[in-house]
Amino acid sequence: MDIDAARTIADTVLGAGPVLRPYRAAGHRDPSRWRCGVLMPADRAADDESLSAVAQTECLVEAAGHVRVRVLLRFLQVRRRTVYRWLPEQGRFKAVGSLDVDGTAIASWDEPVEHEMCFEVDDVTLRGAGARHTVRVPGGFDRTELHDSRGALVGQMVRQRRPLCAMLNVSAQPVPAPRPALRLRVWVENRTRAGADGDEVALTTALVASHLILSVEGGAFVSMVDPPGWATEAAESCANVGLWPVLAGPPGRHDTLLATPRILADHPGDLPDSAVDELLRLRDLAG
């Protein structure tokens, strides 16, 4: 199985937006930099048709016997970093956009925190009621004092992230086809509550750059980009929402599948630097 290869291409394609996008001090909290694969909290998505809390991928698995499926759910969490200046005359800290410490600018910023959860589903569960998993990410708070070269207190940096809750569902059903095959469905929903906070705060309860890496034992994934003739009709009946599945790993391998919010070709491999630069350029033009 080529899990590592799938991770590499996912990190390259999805990381080009939220992680590598250049910093711009004029808009240090730019929501558009987190636009790719965003699953917003369910309560916020219910109030805005342009937002979604749910993503789903469906694909075909050719399998004559027992199969076991491994699902990796991967996403970024937005961690808020706020910089404060120490005001000695007032005995308090004041939030600032940027603080100069010995010639180095330390900015308030939104940082990505990577998460990866792995779930395995056996054949009996898969073909029966399916498997449901609750995904929980605890919140966090960290405070770091900032001192200059003389040791004097000049400020502090606070990092804070909110708890997240999501639901993952994995199921499969036989499909009518000349060969024995299953329609595998993986569905994920962000069930975090954003509350009454504004869009900028609600983003800290989102699942960003959400994607899936699937692997199978005892079966083989069927290409959804160019399905063989016997599977064409079944492939067309698959419903993908916010995720597009492609075969991962080297050509000829059919045991690993990558489902991302970006449309890729089968067996995408490692993207060259020029492709990453192009993704960045298109991203900046779009946002």
Residue type, 263: I
Whole-angstrom distance, CA of residue 25 vs CA of residue 97: 8
Instruction: Check residue 31 and give its pLDDT.
Output: 52
Give bridge partners of residue 98 from the DSSP assignment. 107
Spell out the domain ranges in the chain. Answer: 3-77+113-138+163-286
DSSP secondary structure, 130-172, as one string: -EEEEEEE--EEEEEEEE-TT--EEEEEEEEE--EEEEEEEEE
What gap in Å lies between CA 43 and CA 59, rounded to an integer? Answer: 29
Q: Who contacts 64 (Cβ-Cβ below 8 Å, separation ≥6)? A: 180
pLDDT at 36: 77
Angle at 215 between CA 214 and CA 221, to 5 degrees: 90
Residues paired with residue 61 on neighbouring β-strands, in sequence order? 182, 221
Phi, then psi, of 224 in degrees rounded to 5: -90, -15
Check residue 27 and give its pLDDT.
Answer: 45
The confidence score (pLDDT) of residue 168 equals 97
Read out DSSP for 188-252? Answer: EEE----TT--HHHHGGGSBEEEEEEEEEESSEEPPSSS--GGGHHHHHT---BB-EEEE-SSTT
pLDDT of residue 30: 55
pLDDT at 34: 62
Q: Mean pLDDT per segment of 10 residues, for the chain of length 287 residues?
A: 78 59 44 74 89 96 94 94 96 96 94 94 92 96 97 97 96 93 97 78 90 95 96 95 92 93 83 48 42
State the amino acid at position 39 in one-letter form. L
Q: Report pLDDT for 137.
A: 96
